């Protein structure tokens, strides 16, 4: 999936980094279900099953799942496609 971002100044950037700082602070150590914008949290729970049940009740059958880390550890290295 490719994220498309339209900024208020009209600049288009499909490769812009997403700031999950607020998600990290609020949902540290939990599973979260995100909408396709990869920013809006639909549901959260300690288990995948729990978060899927909550998201399903809200009408989201295939949300993006993400486990928020308990600690942010810097990574220095390479990424190859």
pLDDT digits (tens, 9 = 90+) for 42-70: 999 999 999 999 999 999 999 999 999 99
pLDDT of residue 25: 93
pTM for the model stands at: 0.70
CA–centroid distance for 47 within its chain = 16
Q: Which helix (H) or strand (E) holds 60?
A: none
How many helices and strands in the chain, by DSSP H and E? 2, 5
- 74 pLDDT band, cuts 50/70/90, is confident
List, for residues 4-45, the tens digit of each pLDDT value. 555 555 555 566 678 888 999 999 999 999 998 888 999 999
pLDDT of residue 1: 47
Do residues 65 and 35 touch, judged by C-beta distance below 8 A? no
Domain boundaries, the chain: 5-67
């Amino acid at each position: 999936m490719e994220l498309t971002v339209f900024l208020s100044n009209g600049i288009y950037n499909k490769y812009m980094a997403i700031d999950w700082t607020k998600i990290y602070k609020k949902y540290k150590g939990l599973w979260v279900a995100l909408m396709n914008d990869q920013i809006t949290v639909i549901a959260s729970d300690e288990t995948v099953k729990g978060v899927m049940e909550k998201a399903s009740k809200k009408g989201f059958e295939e949300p993006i799942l993400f486990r928020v880390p308990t600690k942010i550890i810097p990574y220095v290295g390479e990424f190859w496609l």
